[in-house]
Amino acid sequence: MGRPGPGGRPGGGPMNARMNVEKPKNVRRTIGRLFRYIGKSSAILIALLGIMICVTVIDLLGPFFQQKAIDTFKVEGNITTVDFDSLTRYLIIMAIIFAVSSVLYYAQGLLSAKLSQATVFIMRNDLFRKISRLPISYTDNHKHGDIMSRMTNDVENVSNAVSQSITMLFSSIITLIGAFAMMLYYSWQITIIAILTIPITILVSTNLAKFMRKYFVRQQRLLGKLNGEVEEMVTSYKTVVAYGKEDKAVGNFAAESEALRKNSISARVWGSIMGPVMNFLGNFQYVLIAATGGFMMLRGMGITVGYIQAMLQYSKKFTHPINQIANQYSAILTALAAAERIFEIMDSSNEVDNGKLDYDAENMKGEIVFKDVDFSYVEGKPVLKNLNLTVHPGQTIAIVGATGSGKTTIVNLLTRFYEIDKGEITIDGVNITDIPKETLRKAIAIVLQDTVLFCDTIKTNIKYGNQNATDEDIKRAAHTSNADRFIDRLPDGYDTELTEAGSNLSQGQRQLLAISRAVLADPKILILDEATSSVDTRTEMHIQQAMVNLMKNRTSLIIAHRLSTIRDADVIVVLSDGVIVESGSHEELLAGGGEYSKLYSNQFAGIAT
């Protein structure tokens, strides 16, 4: 079902306003939640941290042995001497260090990939599980393309961050600590000079980050909106072409794409500024250290060329992690914006189910009572008003009325797709809010106006009504609904693969499969929401014959525009503006000359209702 409008039928929603609203985000909370997901793969994380520590330690040993190798050269006056034994030993040690470092870097990359995929595997499953528990109202009020974007693009951005940015962040912290310790080991005076640029670095990066972040948050929202446009175009393609709206669709897409393009350029431009700024500050620090070291060596303060070289190397290692973080900042911001959008769905309220009663659906008789029911999709715009309706066990009730009168809303409330505002609905005297939703819905089979089929075989689609059904059960259900007439003519029969939404079948054939599914479910309560509205008259006759057998000893609710399909209903209820204006049999209502009589006369006179 689409988003219910004020009249109770699917309609449009103010999505453009919703998509452009930027809500304040808690970055610290998002990072904390993201790291909790990473922590779920604790074994991989511990191994990765261990390797990163080893890589950092080995990496920090390089400048130390380089200093030792350089200082094997002694210059006294015009004479230069070299301690070749020591030089050879240090060169061999450095070769071993570099070889081991290469192996460990490979292992680090491998574990980073495993950690990334393990994290997003859990996150993706949690997100999909959450989506399956969302209330119908959530999917009715959010663009499906945007929801899909969170499952695909946003999860992928988080995956890239975990495999690259997050591991880089860990490595950078370890390197910062190690490089700082080695700098202190060599010279505390030069270390003080080196850290003078740190406050400037923090100040610049913090202010740039605040300015940049809004572009990356907006970029993810615009990407989700663009995906929504694509999804809407693909699913509504026939309608777009039929009305000649291709140019308009292209124009809408171009406008959304242009907004994304402009924002993405701004995001990338400002994101790329961070790196050069940090590099400039790093080079400035490099000059300060070289000048200070040279001055101390000339003053005879025990500083050698090797010491200066080591300090320069360690200062680079000290500033390099900061530069890395700066260069990766755009990716980190994108990932945080993506994670926020994922957690936004996860933080949404689940479908409410207060049903705790141990209800035996097998012995359900099927008496349905609506008592003083009020309901509105939008506050202040009631769809049903003080509705009172009783359906006796085994009775067939037809509900008719103009579009927007609230017919489908009755189905939405009975199945608890939406919760009533006031009053109560009971089945066999039990309030449906006390019955677990899974139990309630298993006792009800629905055939909707818009047929829902899956990309699978015809057999599997019919079996959706009862997973325990045998092949013979499936064939009997297809025979009852007269679907076997076209299935048997297909080359692969029941093993025919359906394309998305069953688009390789006619609308009538798709409806017959949906009815077969309802037959197989063997429900206590049957709901037909304009189930024959999309089939031709001849097919309708076959369906009507099958429905007579299906509805025997079952409580049935039929919603129909074609009044010819409900003439044999036990009771016909006429809705108008959310209120029952009359009820009775077909003959009684015609004789009464009321709303039903007008609808019937108009329909058979060929006047649109």
**For position 432, what pLDDT does the model report?**
92
Condensed to tens digits (0 to 9), the pLDDT of residues 425-463 reads: 999 999 999 999 888 988 888 887 777 888 889 999 999
pLDDT for the residue 388: 93
Quote the pLDDT of residue 24: 31
Structure confidence at residue 11 (pLDDT):
37
Top-confidence residue, 63 or 541: 63
Sorted by sequence, the CB contacts under 8 Å of residue 255 that are 6+ apart come out as none
pLDDT confidence band for 20 (50 / 70 / 90): very low
Smallest CA-to-CA distance from 447 within 366, 370, 521, 538 is with 521
Is the pLDDT at 607 greater than 70? The verdict is no
Structure tokens at 486: 């076209």
Give the confidence band of 535 by pLDDT, cuts at 50, 70, 90.
low
Instruction: Tell me the per-residue pLDDT of 241-256, one tens digit each, with 9 for 90 and over.
Output: 776 777 878 888 888 8
Token readout for 484 is 């076997």
As beta bridge partners, residue 369 has 390, 426
Report the candidate in 13, 112, 19, 17 with the shortest Cα–Cα distance to residue 341.
19
Model confidence at 391: pLDDT above 50: yes
Q: Which amino acid is at 46?
A: I
Q: Is the pLDDT of residue 588 over 70?
A: yes
pLDDT above 70: residue 75:
no
pLDDT at 402: 81
* 164 or 1: which leads in pLDDT: 164
Instruction: Please answer whether residues 16 and 90 qualify as being in contact, where contact means their C-beta atoms are separated by less than 8 angstroms.
Output: no
Which residues have C-beta within 8 Å of that of residue 46, sequence separation ≥ 6? none
Contact 40, 33 (CB under 8 A): no
Task: Give the residues across from 79 on adjacent strands.
Answer: 76
- Mean pLDDT (the chain) is 80
Burial class (CB in 10 A: 0-12, 13-18, 19+), 301: exposed
- Give the residue range(s) of CATH 3.40.50.300 domains in the chain: 453-522
CB distance 161 to 332 below 8 Å? yes
pTM score, whole prediction: 0.64
How crowded is residue 371: how many other Cβ atoms within 10 Å of its Cβ? 14
Note the pLDDT tens digit of each residue in 263-272.
Answer: 888 877 777 7
What's the whole-number mean pLDDT along residues 155-175? 80
Q: Distance between CA 4 and CA 140 in Å, rounded?
A: 7
CATH number of 453-522: 3.40.50.300
pLDDT 10s digits, 88-108: 888 898 899 889 988 998 998
Query: Cβ(173)–Cβ(246) under 8 Å?
Result: no
Higher pLDDT, 377 or 318: 377
* Residue ranges of the chain that CATH labels 1.20.1560.10: 28-346
> Does the 28-346 domain belong in CATH 1.20.1560.10?
yes
DSSP single-letter state for residue 569: -
Given this model, what pLDDT does residue 273 score? 75
Res 21 pLDDT > 60: no
Contacts of 10-17 with CB under 8 Å at 24 or more apart are: 10/140, 13/140, 13/141, 15/142, 15/143, 15/228
166 versus 20: which is more confidently predicted? 166
Lowest mean pLDDT among 73-77, 138-142, 226-230: 73-77
> Residues 522, 552: contact at Cβ < 8 Å?
no
Ranking 15-19, 48-52, 79-83, 548-552 by mean pLDDT, the lowest is: 15-19
Distance (Å, whole) CA 83 – CA 306? 14
Higher pLDDT: 10 or 316? It is 316
Q: Quick one: average pLDDT of 56-81?
A: 78
Mean pLDDT, range 511-519, rounded to an integer: 86
- Rounded to the nearest 10 degrees, the angle between the axes of helix 305-327 and helix 246-298 is 160
- pLDDT grade for 475, boundaries at 50, 70 and 90: very high
